[in-house]
Amino acid sequence: MGTNNLSSSFKIVEDGSITTPLGFRAGGLHCGLKKTTRYDLGAIICEVPAVSAGVYTTNVFQAAPLKVTRESLASEGKLRAVLVNSGNANACTGEQGEADAYEMRARFAEAVDVKAEHVAVASTGVIGETLKMDNVRNGIDLLPGQLLDGMEGADGFCQAILTTDLVQKMVCVELEIDGQRVHIAGAAKGSGMIHPNMATMLGFVTTDAKIGGEALQGLLRKATDLSFNMITVDGDTSTNDMLIAMASGLAANQELSEEHADWAAFAAALSYVCEVLAKAIARDGEGATKLVEVQVRGAVSDESAQAIAKTVIGSSLVKSAIFGTDANWGRIIAAVGRAGQPVNPNTVDIRLGDIVTLEASRPTGFDEEAALEYLKGDTVVIHVDLHMAEGAATAWGCDLTYDYVRINAAYRT
């Protein structure tokens, strides 16, 4: 299995996937929820009850599958399987949608011979349309035969969860805990309706580490706040967002806790997996041509830096300027100023990559041609230094293009 050195604590597994951690299989198929023949039903299954944790959308209108999944996790804090459909969000579908989500859980539990309370359900797609349950039932009955080890199973699952995504999003890392080889892997979908406090994204993390439920929940929440909650594509928070982590415990390490010598290494590896997936969602934003990163330093606190970074990355004017390769730092400083955070209007520096456009809140007379060439690249980094204190944060997003409007103007048709 190929690996690349990343840090002293963990490595990227180049050919790894969500099925690399011990105990996991996955797969997908087409059951007829999408108009095309693309896969639209998938699952991850663990051979043992996996300690599990979840993070969900903050939208008031939460889709039926979230209620079902919360209930499953509240039962024992363990899961054996996650069933996911794309092409239909099963959101704002009333009592029928709720009944359908419960039926999906029960039918898949029976198909793979596990307790219903050990199954989570997730959906993504169009809001307000009931599921074609005959198609879903047929798909669930066939799905166990598609659950495979290795990349083939993981690839099928990743195909099944996509909507407007152009690429699959998957990452796997390896580290050593108590002398045992441990893996953490993740897969996600998301391209539009993406905004901090979750988004139209589904994320799934698998690990073979042994860890308690409260510890895993705490780490997942912290990793989410620094990754998935720091991305935006269009400022819209979805009804269906869900991030589920499952730990099989089959790696035979001593149970992880804050007192464990390798706790920090495991936390760093989990955070890295979440950050890679979050950045992949931002880069794959609907119609996007560039990944945009905003680094804020010198704020009065990390929380203040986060608020400023989110405001800049979410600005339609900043995003449009970057799409047009216009080094309009005025859009950036205006976003900084309206973030509702303490800012000294006389001490702000702004850079586009290495090009200083503003120093001590005054224009520098930078090379416009050099800035234009920089903005033509597929990754743009905006640096904002407030020179006030030590608070820092990073947010990710993308440019706003003509294609974003085209894609969303015809989303249902």
Residues labelled catalytic: 200
Spatial separation of the C-alpha atoms in residues 269 and 253, rounded to whole Å: 16
CA distance 272 to 267: 9
Please enumerate in sequence order all residues whose Cβ is within 8 A of that of 110, keeping only pairs 6 or more positions apart, or say none.
none
Query: Measuring CA to CA, which residue among 231, 209, 360, 356 is closest to residue 292?
Result: 231
**Phi, psi for residue 221 in degrees, rounded to 5:** -60, -45
Q: DSSP secondary structure string, 69-118?
A: HHHHHHHHSEEEEEEEEEEE---S-HHHHHHHHHHHHHHHHHHHT--GGG
Half-sphere exposure of 256 (CA within 13 A, CB side): 32
User: What's the CA angle centered on 340, arms 275 and 379, to 5 degrees?
Assistant: 35
Asked if 288 and 281 touch (Cβ cutoff 8 Å), the reply is no
DSSP string, 144-206: GGG-BSHHHHHHHHHHHT-SS-SS-EEEEEEEEETTEEEEEEEEEE-SSSB-SS-BS-EEEEE
Contact predicate 238/196, CB 8 Å:
no
Distances (CA, A) of 222 to 154, 270, 394: 26, 10, 14
